[in-house]
Amino acid sequence: MMGSTPTRPAPPSRARTMAQALPDELERVIILRERSRVKAETMGPSAPYWCADVMMTAAIDSAKAALASGDVLHVLQAHATLQGMTDD
């Protein structure tokens, strides 16, 4: 098309694949889960922390399975799920 500016790809140093991004998110959520466990242990049996632990564990297991399978859709879904996990 005339007059349209082509979009430039990200520089190679910043471009990332899901195969690179998912392990980083996985590591972040594993650390988040450990922090949640410490809070749960210091505050006693608190349902929100234990529920968060169960949800994070399920997301971690799913992400590990996605990486092992190489299924692109499974990897994308696992990445999106992990990105939604916060310590709020």
The pLDDT confidence band at residue 1, using thresholds 50, 70 and 90, is very low
Per-residue pLDDT tens for 67-81?
999 899 999 999 999
Per-residue pLDDT tens for 21-66?
899 999 999 999 998 888 888 877 767 788 888 999 999 999 999 9
**Alpha carbon distances (Å) from 70 to 9, 56, 60, 62:** 24, 21, 15, 12
**Alpha carbon distances (Å) from 39 to 23, 26, 33, 35:** 24, 20, 10, 6
- Which tokens go with 20? 């690179």
Average pLDDT value over all residues in the chain: 82
In the predicted structure, residue 84 carries a pLDDT above the cut 70: yes
Q: Which amino acid is at 17?
A: T
Give SS3 for 12. coil
What pTM did the predictor assign? 0.75
